[in-house]
Structure 1
Amino acid sequence: MTATYDEIREALLRAALPHVPFDGWTEATFRAAVADSGTDAALAASVCPRGSVDLALAAHAAGDRAMLDRIGRAQLDAMRFRDRVAAAVRWRIEAAGDREVVRRAVTLFALPQHAADGARAIWQTCDAIWTALGDSAQDYNWYTKRATLAGVYSATLLYWLGDSSEGSAATWEFLDRRIDNVMQIEKLKASANANPLWKPVLSLPNWFLGQIKPPAPGRMQGFPGQSAPRG
């Protein structure tokens, strides 16, 4: 049976992971993965045209899938919504695997030529979290929720990389504080919108923001959006 592209990419990724802590997500790692997996070099290049960059993105996507599987198996109904978000972020970081592998990916996507790929990967992680938790926003909040969570996720991931506490306890405390900060901002926004003194000031900005809609189905790659059509 002929292997699919996804199966070939998975085999390359498994073969690459032992090399990443030593060589990073580099061409050397990709060549080693090709050799160790027994994949034809031309086929490997067609599956991963950018070599280890594509494998690093595949590793990130695998972490997203593991997180979504855990969310799907969890009993979330009894949890406060902020705790569901915190749990999802924690599970995503726990699914990241070896710290050195993640550290090497952070270094890779900090490079200017790969920064857009890294930002897109984080955005897709945050979109996956909000979608899995049942987000139904149909306005600018679709974007602000994901952008805010991207900041929380990124900061927590970097904290985790340097955390030596038992069971990463310090990281989860850091995450809780960041979620609390976000909740305070949301409460402030709600209070301002409910205040009759602010309504005349906020009416025009709120109208404008109300015209912003999430991406249409099939346009979920990256950050594209659309404005609401005029009635």
Structure 2
Amino acid sequence: MIDDDPATEFGTDPTRAALLRAILPHVPFDGWSDRAFASAAREAEVTMAEARAAAPRGPLDLAVEWHRQGDRAMGKALACADLGAMRLRDRVAFAIKSRMAALPEREALRRSAALFALPQNAALGGRLLWETADAIWTALGDASRDGNWYSKRATLSAVLASVVLYRLGDDSPDLARTNAFIDRRIGDVMAFEKWKAGARNNPVLRPLTGPLGWIMGRISAPQRPEDLPGGWRPKE
């Protein structure tokens, strides 16, 4: 998706990648701070001007890059998995578990959670969770184009946020407790979805669910504008 975010990428910038590798050992001690960023620039052997060109928002951009690196690793895990042999709930759980295993540095995750909890970064943190949820549903082949496109990602974003917080306190081998927590949360979501399906057919609730379903059906998922150069529409 093309936007004006300087952290958006179409392939990892080599300078930014070098800065990220260099800053990670400093993050547990100094956080995603200017001090850690300066240390990373020295160790990556780039000038501060070059570092700022690669990461205009400094350590914040590197924290964003680290998050998206985890999304890419998760995407590779999903591409290699036999998802067709799994139930939907197991596919979603597998995706979240893969995302948690993608970046094992718990202290860096703790520092990231603190960074994106700051008021000035909260919107960006929410956007990154949404990106991860969207990446999961896209990889799982979600074909919804109405209001369900939004509700699925909103629900999964909430699950991801709770999993991250749980992960921060989990020191069990191979994230066993976190994985069990993921299974429970997905179970709760699936139970709610089952209740929703039943509510749609409940004559008592139909006066409420009918109009709500009509509204959800009129909502459209975002689409890439068709008037941009460099694109084409397939012949029908």
TM more than 0.5: yes
Q: CA RMSD in A?
A: 1.6
Is the 8 Å Cα contact of residues 20 and 101 (structure 1) preserved in structure 2? yes
* Runs of at least 5 residues in structure 2 that lack an aligned partner in the other structure: 1-10, 227-236
Tell me what 1:13 maps to. 20
TM-fit CA distance, 1:97: 2.2
Tell me what 1:132 maps to. 139
Instruction: Give, as a single letter, the amino acid of the residue that structure 2 aligns with 1:38.
Output: E
**2:37 counterpart (30, 38, 42):** 30
Q: Does 1:81 align with 2:88?
A: yes
TM-fit CA distance, 1:37: 0.4
Is the 8 Å Cα contact of residues 32 and 115 (structure 2) preserved in structure 1? yes
Are residues 139 and 10 of structure 1, via their aligned partners in 2, closer, same or farther at CA, if it must alter by over 3 Å? Answer: same
Q: Does 1:123 align with 2:135?
A: no
**1:143 counterpart (150, 163, 170):** 150
Are residues 208 and 63 of structure 1, via their aligned partners in 2, closer, same or farther at CA, if it must alter by over 3 Å? Answer: same
TM-fit CA distance, 1:83: 0.3
CA distance in 1, matches of 2:221, 2:131: 14
Is the 8 Å Cα contact of residues 5 and 47 (structure 1) preserved in structure 2? no
What count of residue pairs does the alignment treat as equivalent? 216
Is the 8 Å Cα contact of residues 86 and 179 (structure 1) preserved in structure 2? yes
Tell me what 1:227 maps to. none
TM-score (norm. length: structure 2) = 0.88
TM-fit CA distance, 1:43: 1.8
1:17-96 correspondence runs (5 A): 17-96=24-103
Is the 8 Å Cα contact of residues 52 and 58 (structure 2) preserved in structure 1? yes
Residue deviations 1:102-151, cap 9 Å, x none? Answer: 10000100100111111111100010000000001111111111111111
CA distance in 2, matches of 1:169, 1:26: 31
Q: Does 1:169 align with 2:176?
A: yes
Is the 8 Å Cα contact of residues 63 and 95 (structure 1) preserved in structure 2? yes
Instruction: Give, as a single letter, the amino acid of the residue that structure 1 aligns with 2:96.
Output: V
Instruction: Give, as a single letter, the amino acid of the residue that structure 2 aligns with 1:144.
Output: S
Tell me what 2:8 maps to. none
Instruction: Give, as a single letter, the amino acid of the residue that structure 2 aligns with 1:11.
Output: A
% identical equivalent positions: 50
The structure 1 segments of at least 4 consecutive aligned residues displaced by more than 6 Å after TM superposition are: none
Instruction: Give, as a single letter, the amino acid of the residue that structure 2 aligns with 1:54.
Output: D
Q: SS at the partner of 2:85?
A: coil
Instruction: Give, as a single letter, the amino acid of the residue that structure 1 aligns with 2:46.
Output: T
CA distance in 1, matches of 2:41, 2:225: 33
* Runs of at least 5 residues in structure 1 that lack an aligned partner in the other structure: 220-231
Is the 8 Å Cα contact of residues 133 and 157 (structure 2) preserved in structure 1? yes
TM-fit CA distance, 1:24: 0.3
Is the 8 Å Cα contact of residues 200 and 210 (structure 2) preserved in structure 1? no
TM-score (norm. length: structure 1) = 0.89
Residue deviations 1:82-117, cap 9 Å, x none? Answer: 000000000001112210011000010010011111
CA distance in 2, matches of 1:169, 1:102: 17
